[in-house]
């Protein structure tokens, strides 16, 4: 994935994402005329666990990793959200991501709250054995803070189904029984859901389809640039061609990227990344930097890496008609304003990338009922949820005359506040 490079490429990468969340809540509170007590709860994580995780390394030494798990707000149900392994992870990034999970689950009308976890580490520098020991040790450290009826983690940046499998196994060993429901994004053979692998990107396709219809863009003729080539970026590149016939003309990752007018083959770009560590060695077209890619004259720009990549310094250069945020928090509030004034249609992150957690929710339902659905059923249910959420946001943005992100906040936060009121919190 392009995490580190995306940060490097971003002049405002130091921007604190939790401050961004708090600004966004303040804006939403004004629109909804919320009282100060309600706003105070919305701006604070309900519970945080900070852990030090000792792990035996292959050379016999012990390294202590820093880890976190946060229940941001569980007014609407069990906390839900991924675990990120990243060298630049901070508690404020995890707080921001946990807040966005709260709004994401609410917006998709999932009966879940928001949570997130993280470990400060660089998985690229760990052996498979070290990664397994770290994953299991993380679960031992947060054991009492997670659970099928308390807080259900999932994959996020640099974590994957194998890591979910180790974590589920560790939790099951400690509990003395199989506990498939403790985590989602598992391999299919141990309670994973059909369609979870590409769910984030597929969910994004459904809302891109709705946005294109709205703007009168023919997707079969559309050009696309994708920043980030991890799970979301690769699947987006593959699906946008497969489902709509759109042409991906540029992709990039942390080391740089390629621009090719004739189109880039998603699979070949993935093979290149797997064999050389980056898509920038792809033997087609010309090289393109992260910043150049964001400014390309394309119909659809898909930021699929990390926070703050579209900021006040480069937002004015964005030429895309649609920015589909598959990453969490890729656009700063200042950039949002600039894009809105330029008439760029932004599909905000916690709408655009909600396909992942939606299929995670389906996985929880399947685990609990011991009855599994086929791919077609998952896609159909995902399509319905994403489409409904998109139109709820679009209608709200028209009703209040606000941008799509503010509208997504209005829909999501309203529901969280309703639950807090019903429970007597405020």
Q: What residues are annotated to the active site? A: 116
**Nearest CB to ligand GLU, comparing residues 179 and 353:** 353
Q: Are the beta carbons of 120 and 94 closer than 8 angstroms?
A: no
CB of 338 to ligand GLU, least distance (A): 25
CB of 328 to ligand GLU, least distance (A): 6
Residue 217's CB is within 10 A of a number of other CB atoms, namely 18
> Measuring CA to CA, which residue among 198, 224, 196, 230 is closest to residue 211?
224
- For residue 55 the two structure tokens come to 């792990």
**Nearest CB to ligand GLU, comparing residues 226 and 327:** 327
Residue 306's CB is within 10 A of a number of other CB atoms, namely 29
CA 311 to CA 101: how far, in whole Å?
22
| Residue 257 DSSP code | E
Query: Where in 148-198 does DSSP place strands (E)?
Result: 151-155
**Nearest CB to ligand GLU, comparing residues 145 and 259:** 145
Contacts of 295 (CB under 8 A, 6+ apart): 314, 317, 318, 319
Instruction: Give how far Cα 346 sits from Cα of 31, 209, 214, 358, Å.
Output: 19, 13, 12, 21
- Of all residues in the shown chain, the one whose CB is closest to ligand GLU is 82
Q: Establish how many alpha carbons lie within 13 A of residue 158's alpha carbon, considering only the half-sphere containing its beta carbon.
A: 22
Task: List, in sequence order, every residue forming a beta bridge with 421; answer none if it has no partner.
Answer: none
CB of 289 to ligand GLU, least distance (A): 26
**Nearest CB to ligand GLU, comparing residues 223 and 353:** 353
Task: Catalog residues that contact ligand GLU under the rule CB under 6 A.
Answer: 80-82, 104, 154, 156, 184-185, 328, 353, 356-357, 360
Task: List, in sequence order, every residue forming a beta bridge with 302; answer none if it has no partner.
Answer: 226
CB of 326 to ligand GLU, least distance (A): 10
Contacts of 6 (CB under 8 A, 6+ apart): 227, 228, 254, 290, 305, 306, 309
Q: Are the beta carbons of 69 and 117 closer than 8 angstroms?
A: yes
CB of 3 to ligand GLU, least distance (A): 14
CB of 152 to ligand GLU, least distance (A): 7
**Nearest CB to ligand GLU, comparing residues 2 and 184:** 184
CA 319 to CA 306: how far, in whole Å?
20
**Nearest CB to ligand GLU, comparing residues 328 and 396:** 328
């Amino acid at each position: 994935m392009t995490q580190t490079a995306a940060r490097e490429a971003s002049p405002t990468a130091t921007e604190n994402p939790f401050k961004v969340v708090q600004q966004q809540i303040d804006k939403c509170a004004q629109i909804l005329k919320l009282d100060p007590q309600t706003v105070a709860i919305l701006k604070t994580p309900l519970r945080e666990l900070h852990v030090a995780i000792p792990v035996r390394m292959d050379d016999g030494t012990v390294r202590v990793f820093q880890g976190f798990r946060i229940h941001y707000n569980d007014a609407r149900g069990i906390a839900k959200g991924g675990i990120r392994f990243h060298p630049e992870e901070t508690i404020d990034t995890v707080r921001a991501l946990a807040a966005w999970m709260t709004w994401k689950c609410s917006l998709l009308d999932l009966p879940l709250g928001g949570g997130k976890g993280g470990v400060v580490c660089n998985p690229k520098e760990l052996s498979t054995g070290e990664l397994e020991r770290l994953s299991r040790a993380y679960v031992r450290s947060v054991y009492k803070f997670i659970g099928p009826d308390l807080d259900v983690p999932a994959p996020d940046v640099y974590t994957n189904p194998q890591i979910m499998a180790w974590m589920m196994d560790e939790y099951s060993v400690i509990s003395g029984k199989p506990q498939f429901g403790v985590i989602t994004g598992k391999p299919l053979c141990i309670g994973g859901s059909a369609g979870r692998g590409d769910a984030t990107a597929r969910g994004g396709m459904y809302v891109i389809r709705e946005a294109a219809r709205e703007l009168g863009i023919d997707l079969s003729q559309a050009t696309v640039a994708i920043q980030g080539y991890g799970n979301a970026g690769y699947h987006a590149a593959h699906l946008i061609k497969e489902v709509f016939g759109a042409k991906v003309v540029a992709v990039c990752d942390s080391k740089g990227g390629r621009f090719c007018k004739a189109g880039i083959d998603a699979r070949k770009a993935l093979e290149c990344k797997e064999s050389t560590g980056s898509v920038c060695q792809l033997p087609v077209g010309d090289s393109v930097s992260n910043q150049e890619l964001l400014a390309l004259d394309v119909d659809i720009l898909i930021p699929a890496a990390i926070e703050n990549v579209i900021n006040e310094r480069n937002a004015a250069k964005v030429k895309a008609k649609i920015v589909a945020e598959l990453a969490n928090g890729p656009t700063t509030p200042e950039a949002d304003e600039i894009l809105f004034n330029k008439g760029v249609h932004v599909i905000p992150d916690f709408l655009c990338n909600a396909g992942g957690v939606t299929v995670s929710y389906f996985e929880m339902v399947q685990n609990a009922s011991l009855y599994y659905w086929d791919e077609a059923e998952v896609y159909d249910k995902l399509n319905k949820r994403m489409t409904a959420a998109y139109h709820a946001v679009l209608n709200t943005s028209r009703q209040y005359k606000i941008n799509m992100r503010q509208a997504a906040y209005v829909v999501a936060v309203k529901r969280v506040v309703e639950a807090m009121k019903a429970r007597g919190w405020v």
